[in-house]
């Protein structure tokens, strides 16, 4: 038993050291994203806030202007306003990549943000994929799984024989003991909250996880429908009527709030309208309508409760990760989990450094190691 505990302690220490940088980054950037979001909105108020008008303009004229500007090789994802004073946000992906902000009442361009040019967008990409695309997501998923193993091993090592000392911190017992107590008690108190953030982060960062969940349940993951063949294909691309497509989606799936309207660059791919129906916890909605952009024919309607299990779990994982599942309380806990993850990472490496072996030359001279008391 002693040997297995010693091995587990060594695993905990070395795994924590290996994962120090990614876990520290995830904790700090996660906390900064929560704190920074309202700051970003306040500093960029001219992009996000508009004066409410009588009626919103249709999307067709706005879409035509964007295609003329960015080319028909770009894809567009429209995020309709979710409040009367919100701007229309369009994600553009083509030779130019970024976000465009439009007044939904006048159609006036409010501004744009290219790529990760804005500090908040850069911070988000650092948190979501280490500024490295899919490779960064894979690294974060591996680090998240390692973090979950750290928490599990930490709880095993912490589990007390007597509960009277379970949460005891001894400030006067020396530097090493204080670091040890802070790391041990902090991990015990915040471990489950941190684990929920890591688990949801791994689930969102690495797409194969959701496919694996669906495979275990014996269901196939969600695949977009294909466009049906038509008797006549025009020699040039016609712009789809976004307003007509959205109206058709509303008829096929009444009620709820529009989340996104996704218009791909490839005219042979369907347009997808996402909606948030009553009862959905995902802030952007997971109920979907796929449409043929040439005819506005509805190809498929999928409600959030009809999705395969792996995709349906995003309804829990996404709001859990960003702190929107349980209101202000859960948002606060999510921020605390980020701060605690960063703090425990720093405490752990400090404890590792304070407990490092004493070099032979210093042992011969009688000089104590850092953090150790002389006898």
State the pLDDT confidence band at 360, using cuts at 50, 70 and 90: low
- Report percent pLDDT > 90 for the chain: 80
Q: Within 10 A of 131 (CB to CB), how many other CB atoms are there?
A: 11
Place of tokens 């792996």: 310
Q: Where are the domains of the chain?
A: 2-50+105-215+323-354
pLDDT(1) > 90: no
Q: Please answer whether residues 144 and 199 qualify as being in contact, where contact means their C-beta atoms are separated by less than 8 angstroms.
A: yes
Place of tokens 């020396």: 174
- How much helix, strand and coil, in percent to the nearest 5, is found in the chain? 55, 15, 35
- Strands 257-263, 75-79: pairing kind: antiparallel
Report residue 229 CA to chain centroid gap.
Answer: 37
Each residue of 69-112: pLDDT tens digit?
A: 999 899 999 999 999 999 999 999 999 999 999 999 999 999 99
Q: Please answer whether residues 316 and 309 qualify as being in contact, where contact means their C-beta atoms are separated by less than 8 angstroms.
A: no
Burial (CB count <10 Å: 0-12, 13-18, 19+), residue 94 = middle
209-213, 247-251, 322-326, 360-364: least confidently modelled range: 360-364
Q: For residue 43, give every residue at least 6 positions away whose Cβ sits within 8 Å of its Cβ, in sequence order, or none.
A: none
Q: How far apart are CA 43 and CA 67, in angstroms?
A: 29
Q: For residue 336, give every residue at least 6 positions away whose Cβ sits within 8 Å of its Cβ, in sequence order, or none.
A: 190, 193
pLDDT confidence of residue 358 = 53
Q: How far apart are CA 328 and CA 4, in angstroms?
A: 42
Q: Please answer whether residues 189 and 167 qualify as being in contact, where contact means their C-beta atoms are separated by less than 8 angstroms.
A: yes
pLDDT(253) > 80: yes
pLDDT confidence of residue 236 = 47
User: What is the rounded (10 degree) CA torsion for 337, 338, 340, 344?
Assistant: 130
Classify 235 as helix, strand or coil: coil
pLDDT confidence of residue 4 = 86
């Amino acid at each position: 038993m002693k040997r297995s505990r010693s091995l587990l302690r060594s695993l905990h220490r070395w795994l924590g050291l290996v994962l120090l940088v990614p876990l520290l980054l995830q904790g700090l950037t996660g906390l900064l994203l929560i704190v920074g979001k309202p700051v970003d909105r306040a500093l960029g108020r001219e992009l996000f806030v508009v004066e409410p008008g009588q009626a919103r303009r249709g999307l067709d004229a706005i879409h035509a202007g964007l295609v003329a500007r960015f080319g028909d090789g770009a894809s567009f994802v429209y995020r309709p306003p979710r409040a009367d004073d919100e701007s229309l946000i369009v994600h553009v992906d083509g030779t130019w990549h970024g976000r465009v902000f439009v007044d939904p009442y006048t159609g006036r361009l409010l501004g744009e943000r290219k790529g990760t040019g804005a500090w908040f967008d850069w911070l988000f990409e650092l948190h979501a994929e280490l500024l490295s695309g899919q490779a960064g997501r894979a690294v974060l998923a591996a680090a998240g799984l390692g973090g979950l193993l750290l928490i599990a091993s930490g709880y095993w090592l912490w589990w007390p024989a007597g509960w009277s000392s379970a949460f005891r911190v001894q400030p006067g017992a020396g530097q090493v003991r204080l670091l040890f107590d802070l790391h041990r008690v902090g991990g015990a108190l915040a471990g489950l909250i941190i684990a929920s953030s890591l688990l949801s982060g791994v689930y969102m960062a690495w797409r194969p996880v959701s496919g694996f969940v669906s495979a275990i349940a014996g269901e196939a993951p969600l695949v977009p429908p294909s466009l049906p063949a038509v008797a006549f294909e025009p020699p040039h691309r016609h712009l789809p009527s976004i307003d007509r497509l959205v109206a058709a989606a509303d008829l096929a799936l009444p009620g709820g709030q529009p989340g996104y309207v996704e218009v791909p660059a490839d005219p042979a791919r369907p347009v997808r309208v996402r909606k948030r129906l009553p009862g959905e916890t995902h802030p952007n909605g997971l109920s979907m309508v796929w449409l043929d952009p040439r005819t506005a024919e509805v190809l498929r309607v999928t409600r959030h409760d009809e999705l395969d299990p792996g995709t349906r779990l995003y309804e829990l994982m996404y709001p859990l990760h960003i702190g929107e599942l349980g209101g202000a309380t859960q948002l606060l806990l999510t921020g605390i989990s980020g701060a605690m993850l960063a703090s425990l990472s720093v405490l752990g490496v400090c404890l590792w450094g304070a407990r490092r072996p004493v070099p032979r030359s210093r042992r011969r001279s009688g000089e104590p190691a850092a953090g150790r008391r002389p006898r």
